[in-house]
Chains A and B, each alone.
Chain A
């Protein structure tokens, strides 16, 4: 079913963007339009994230994962039913674990994965607080700027190890990161050989030394109009080809950085409509 959908998307590359754009405009209604409409098959956009989260009927919880004398505040969301499911670790974009990131986790759970989204800024807020203790989004962004990969990766690993012990977790896991988290996703794949796959949405690709250590399949989804990221992707693509390692590179013309969040700009809606199902199919292929 999903393979079929992907095949259709790929064969109708020209038609899909048109359809996605029409949906994005909400049928031409006045103000608001498609900004306020979430597609059931895709993650929420910037303006539908909070309501999507608030209205989810899936089981979800905050857990405190022990980590070197403190705790890692972590959002976990489960797929419907009670059967075992693979784990997808969600790595946060530059703004931290905001509502939009948790809405991405919600979408992953909706599509059959146990989504585990650690608040990577746990304990780094004012007074040792978590993401929700920052007064302004800008303050969280600045805290994220100070977080090096060496600090981030142990936190993500602790969350992954915790998740794999959950009663419903099957012993299959992947990392899925967005933006800065996309960069961390591939780094995590290099450091944690237990992963089965790693996905990056428009994250900077790591250098050759990191790529050389990676043993799991990678998939990356990028906007062509992303001048910071694209050179690193081209370099990594060449390296992975030279090393004979699997790296599925998807580049969407006219799409930009953050295309999954800002869905009505440029060709971002079309990119999201093609990239997300491809990412889900990639995860299913390697985790089922």
Chain B
């Protein structure tokens, strides 16, 4: 039996190693397929090639771009991928991944305009792994048309179809002197990376995960500080982070997950500030540490979690209310406030909307709802996210939707298939990263609508 038979044990394997019978490609079997709008997301979440988000250009041309590297030891030509049409962003990145399967370094940007495109191409061709040659693949997903521009071969036009895709690859390979296809290794499922791809990488427009949080915080250029907010005898130790500029904006109270105000929680505050809002993240366990210290006075995470058991739900709300009252006095506050919470904090954020009827927006990541008496008092719209594979919390989604509807409240739940609890924190589990990429832009749009 030929090894190739084993390569297509599943659709995912076929997609990532190339399942098309591309006899027309002169340089051997194709190892890529044209991603469809349906397969693009799956492809991106299962690809094993190294990929990362980078920022290219500077100043007003600064823009995010997505780079995928081929699995080859020698240097590679670069393909700039741009696309137009519905879900062009995801499909363009998936095409970038498939070009990497053919030996190219691909760089994909959603930005339009020659300056952004030049910046992306310049970034890629100066990578150490690049060989200096490049091509530009511009795809119109609405017209099913692909246009390829290279320095020496002019402009090529192709229809965008599964059958034509090998010709697209062949054209770019020829124009850039790409010989990777000719030296194709035996195709097998084991082309899967032995490492979780992008584990420590962070996209500029998405929150950090478990492994990227600490570096994200350290690299942030935003203004931030710890403040001690007085509540009677207690000092509520609170991380505050400001968006760039000096203008007024809304405040978001960041409610900690079960691990407390760790680096990851503060990196969430950093992301919220980067997205344009004043992030106020109290250490809800302030004063529970040795000698009245805060969470950061514990040597171990689990000690902090055990000690925190004495801060009950009512006390937690009291602390977050004090943080909100304080934040409303900030010179840059525009008077509008929102909340966001994860895990235990998700439940706190939901309840906060009932405790503070003046709240303008509440975001709940995998948190449980308050009782109906509090729910009745909610005025803020509530945006909630759940992982399907989180039975304890997600079981509450349907009855919550029903209750909120009956009470005439605004409630927008999103449940992601195959996704787990804590999916923003542990982005490396299952297809959690995909859920984060869908959820976070919704959070930002929700705050832009309600807090400005």
Contacts and interface: CB of A to CB of B under 8 A. Distances in A.
A233 to B, nearest CB: 9
A88 interface: no
B193 A138 contact: no
Nearest to A181: B194
A95 B215 CA distance: 14
A33 B315 CA distance: 18
A179 interface: yes
Contacts of B422: 262, 264-265
A258 B429 contact: yes
A149 B195 CA distance: 11
Contacts of A149: 194
A176 B136 CA distance: 46
Nearest to A202: B196
B190 A31 contact: no
A232 B9 CA distance: 8
A210 B194 CA distance: 14
Contact of B196 (A29, A30, A54, A228): A228
Interface stretch (B95-103, B295-303, B374-382): B295-303
Interface in A168-194: 179-180, 183-184
Interface stretch (A43-51, A76-84, A117-125): A43-51
Given A231-B12, A238-B9, A136 B190 contact: no
Contacts of B186: 207, 209
B200 interface: yes
Contact of A203 (B194, B200, B312, B420): B194
Contacts of B421: 264-266
Interface string A229-246: 111101110110010000
Interface string B420-444: 1111001011110000000000000
Interface of B: 1, 3, 6-7, 9-10, 12-13, 16, 42, 45-46, 48, 50, 186, 188-197, 199-201, 210-212, 214-215, 218, 258-260, 285, 299-306, 308-309, 311-313, 344, 387, 389-390, 392, 418, 420-423, 426, 428-431
7 contacts: A31-B258, A36-B305, A137-B212, A204-B190, A208-B190, A226-B430, A266-B387
Interface of A: 21, 25, 29-33, 35-38, 46-48, 50-51, 54, 94-95, 135-139, 141-142, 144-145, 149, 179-180, 183-184, 203-210, 223, 225-232, 234-236, 238-239, 242, 254, 256-258, 262, 264-268
